[in-house]
Amino acid sequence: MSTQDKVTIHQLPTGVPGLDEIVGGGLPEFSFNIIAGAPGSGKTTLAHQFVFANATPERPALYFTVLGESTIKMLRYQQQYTFFDPAKLPDSIRFINLSQVVLEKDLGAVLEEITKEVEKANPAVVVVDSFRTMVRKPQSDMDLQSFIQRLALFLASWQATTFLIGEYAEEELRDNPIFTVADGLFWLRQTAERNSIVRKLQIIKLRGQDSVPGLHTFRITDAGVQAFSRTFGLSGHAKNPPSHRRLSFGIAELDKMLGGGVREGDSVLVAGSSGTGKSVLATQFIAEGIRQGEPGIVAVFEERPQAYAERAASLGLDLETPQKDGKLTILYLRPLDLSVDETMHSILDAVQKIGAKRLVIDSLAGFEMALSPGFRADFRESLYRMIFALTGIGVTILSTVEVDESFTEFPFSTYSISFLTDDIVRLRYVSIDGQLRKIMVVIKMRGGNHAKDIREYEITSKGVVILGKRLTNYQGLISGIPVRSDRPDSTAEPSLDTGIEHKP
């Protein structure tokens, strides 16, 4: 039998932004699915989004309500969502209450009632909300199993895609016939982490197609449920081939130290303590990109876009005009309850919207603070996924990170994330001749030559300016307390390392 003879399973849009990607393109047509989770986790809203996305007058949706939330209240609340189109009621979407038959009769009568309505309406979508309350009355396992089997068989035969909604606990996954019969099992979780709510979705099973495994963050907004795939929606994107192009910082001496600039598609970490000019360097990087026709994104967490642009203006860098021209987006990601996936979604939207080639994340400390406490434990892992995804599509990322200044150590970051980055530029204070001066060194450049020189720099009205040549008349510069030696300052050009990787 050739592949041409295999049946084609059509996929239906879930109506939930981000969920199609997670389920592998869409929901398999005629599948029998369970949405499980605790009260308030968004089960009904998710089902409504699916219903509103797929119901038509020709192939309507039947939404059976049982005990629990009343239909009137449910619709009162659900119609607040933007996806809710009242015009679809009742021709495309019919609500049918089964409470009476559930209360007064047995499962056979319930099945009969559902059968009658389905045969009458010929629906494309059937929802039972809540299925759990429908089968809550004591009955033998065989009764229940038989009911579920017959219901699943009947609805699939009538070419309906079905959602059963239930408040289940995870320990019920075992030995419950409903989970055996189901083609798809969507589990919604929400947990309180300190002062924030963390919502995650898992496709525990989905027959017939590959879904993205793992827990995916989701949020409920006025647009309904929005899911954020762990692969950031980039799983189908081809990786860009490695680029040999070098991107300039707009600081000639720094470009030289970097062996000609940052390699396109690299992830660069600029590390230093407060006031060393990390943000200035990042701003110059993005401004130079715009000057060279490369749109950019700046994700800021610690100050508003307007303040960021004004600070750039004080350095003679115009960020207002490129924003108006659609060449630059400064994203201010509201703090305290974000997941990395949501942040990524915002950044990716912006990247795709303006075709950004450069991205600045200023700073990782601010990024971490902006996350809900529940997501901070996964920060490194999430950051890895984010950097991998973005650099894979050719975006060059510059992240700033604040490190505690120490005169005994020379840390590259407080997150042990230097392994995630291709290039590291370290800024630090040194005490020289009774002054607190600043030095810069390129710690690593993956796959490229870079200078070994330690260079002094200043932050002026023109931004970061690298002074003179390398500091050869001091020893112990990276300790922050160097000792003057008798050697004069070097006049030689920066000497280049051959790209040996340093282990932080």
Partner 1 sequence: MTTPPKIRDLAHRLVACEAVATRTTEPRKSATLRVYEKLRDGLSEFAGVAGFESIASRALALARTEAPSLDAVRVSSDGELHGLERDLGEIEHPIDIDKDRAGESQAGEGEIILIARILGLLLLFLGEAIVLSLLRVTWPGAAFDDRNSENGRNE
Q: Rule CB under 8 A: which residues touch partner 1?
A: 65, 70-73, 75-76, 79, 86-87, 89-91, 95-100
Contact 261, 390 (CB under 8 A): no
| Residue that has been written with the tokens 């929901």 in this structure | 27
**What is the nearest approach in angstroms of partner 1 to the Cβ of residue 63?**
10
Contact 126, 64 (CB under 8 A): yes
For 100, how many CA atoms within 13 A lie in the half-sphere containing its CB?
A: 3
**What is the nearest approach in angstroms of partner 1 to the Cβ of residue 110?**
14
The rounded distance, in Å, linking the Cα atoms of 372 and 368 is: 8
Report the residue number, 89 or 459, with the smaller CB distance to partner 1: 89
**What is the nearest approach in angstroms of partner 1 to the Cβ of residue 117?**
9
**What is the nearest approach in angstroms of partner 1 to the Cβ of residue 113?**
11
65 strand-pairing partners: 97, 129
Report the residue number, 78 or 400, with the smaller CB distance to partner 1: 78
Contact 352, 379 (CB under 8 A): no
**What is the nearest approach in angstroms of partner 1 to the Cβ of residue 132?**
17
Could you give the angle at the alpha carbon of 343 between the alpha carbons of 340 and 349, nearest 5°? 135
Report the residue number, 98 or 178, with the smaller CB distance to partner 1: 98
Report the residue number, 69 or 302, with the smaller CB distance to partner 1: 69
Report the residue number, 137 or 487, with the smaller CB distance to partner 1: 137
Report the residue number, 6 or 73, with the smaller CB distance to partner 1: 73
Report the residue number, 111 or 465, with the smaller CB distance to partner 1: 111
The rounded distance, in Å, linking the Cα atoms of 278 and 399 is: 9
Report the residue number, 134 or 309, with the smaller CB distance to partner 1: 134
Report the residue number, 91 or 458, with the smaller CB distance to partner 1: 91
**What is the nearest approach in angstroms of partner 1 to the Cβ of residue 120?**
12
Contact 440, 471 (CB under 8 A): no
**Of 265, 258, 322, residue with least CA distance to 295:** 322
**What is the nearest approach in angstroms of partner 1 to the Cβ of residue 53?**
19
**What is the nearest approach in angstroms of partner 1 to the Cβ of residue 201?**
29
DSSP string of 190-255?
Answer: EEEETTEEEEEEEEEEETTS----SEEEEEEETTEEEEE-TTTT-TTSPPPPP---EE--S-HHHH
**What is the nearest approach in angstroms of partner 1 to the Cβ of residue 67?**
9
Beta-carbon neighbour count of residue 31 at 10 Å?
23
Q: Which residues contact 112 (CB under 8 A, 6 or more apart)?
A: none
Any long-range contacts for 433-442 (C-beta under 8 Å, 24+ apart)?
A: 438/276, 438/277, 439/471, 439/477, 439/478, 440/254, 440/257, 440/466, 441/478, 442/257, 442/258, 442/497
